[in-house]
Structure 1
Amino acid sequence: MNQPKYLYKSEEFLRTFEFTSEGNRGRIRKMVQYTDTGTENIYNLAFGDYDEETQEINDLSITNNGDSLKVLATVASTIYAFTEKYPEAWIFATGSTAVRTRLYRMGITNNLAEICKDFKVFGLTVSENSWEQFIIGDDYEAFLITRLENT
């Protein structure tokens, strides 16, 4: 995504990324995590505010920090870093709510031409419960993303 991004830090395996959102509600610690799904080369993308109390991602928090495009661009940049280290990876992503899944779909739609230079994107159709190559305007429950070399 050709948008401003936050700088992030990661551990050596590039499975967990952290950055700080800075906006009208202050500085909020964010985390992106890629976890094994149990299916070879398929990883779940988890994203949200870092909960200091539980030391886990809270993917239900609503930050409203006024920087959603910058935050989504930062999450997208972690996909580039993760798939650079794990080029065979397929990334599964869905929102923790229908509204968030729609937000992700809109982000993909608005940046599809740029994304498709490096990635293949699939959507899980609501009506047929099957995967198809991402089509602008279609409604999806989840997304699969992989580097072009893997398709």
Structure 2
Amino acid sequence: MQIGTYLTKQISSDTYTFNSIGPKGIIELRIIISKDDREASNYHNLAFGVWNKILNDIDDKIELKRRYGSSSCDGSSNSNFIYENHPQSLLYIEGSNSIRTRKYQMGISKDVNNIPPSLGILGLIDENLLNEALPALKWEHFRRNTNYHAFLLYTK
């Protein structure tokens, strides 16, 4: 299997591994798709990051470019690969912090024209962002130059 130019190995039904090669070495990355039992049966969370062999878990706080001189693979390749393997999933994506979520948003904005027409992207926006009222979160179709708290990928 491949994600873009990355040779990908499926470890289990919901876990994929691949390596990114940068100037400072090889980095093992993983994608884990987990079902959220609190939501509809096809609602899943997407976790992505550097594989920590000691903790046996993903470390989604590592800045790849700063630490390894490499950046992660592009979003359109990720979305194509994931939906080939999980075609009816609603995939929830949120960064481990606001900076990471912003990076995901910039990646989606850059690749939005390469995402197949069969996939849709929603962004979670706070309608009361300019007011001091309680947050009023709602999903809307993804728009460039709009700050979102999270993203939802779905098949149309």
TM-score when scaled to structure 1? Answer: 0.84
CA distance in 1, matches of 2:142, 2:153: 10
For structure 2, which runs of at least 5 residues remain unmatched after alignment?
Answer: 130-135
1:67 aligns with 2:67: no
Structure with bigger helix share is 1
- Asked whether the equivalents of residues 16 and 33 of structure 1 are also in contact (C-alpha less than 8 Å), the reply is yes
**Structure 2 match to 1:37:** 36
Question: Rg larger in 1 or in 2?
Answer: 2
**Structure 2 match to 1:115:** 115
**Structure 2 match to 1:136:** 144
1:147 aligns with 2:148: no
Identity of aligned residues (%): 29
Give the match's secondary structure for 1:107: helix
Give the match's secondary structure for 1:137: coil
In structure 2, give the amino acid aligned to 1:35.
S
Count the aligned residue pairs.
Answer: 142
CA distance in 1, matches of 2:155, 2:89: 8
What RMSD in Å do the two structures reach over aligned CA positions?
Answer: 1.9
TM-score when scaled to structure 2? Answer: 0.82
Deviations 1:54-112 (A, max 9, x none): 111011122223332xx232x64343233223321110001111111111101111111
In structure 1, give the amino acid aligned to 2:34.
T
Give the match's secondary structure for 1:54: coil
In structure 1, give the amino acid aligned to 2:10.
S
CA distance in 2, matches of 1:111, 1:79: 10
For structure 1, which runs of at least 5 residues remain unmatched after alignment?
Answer: none
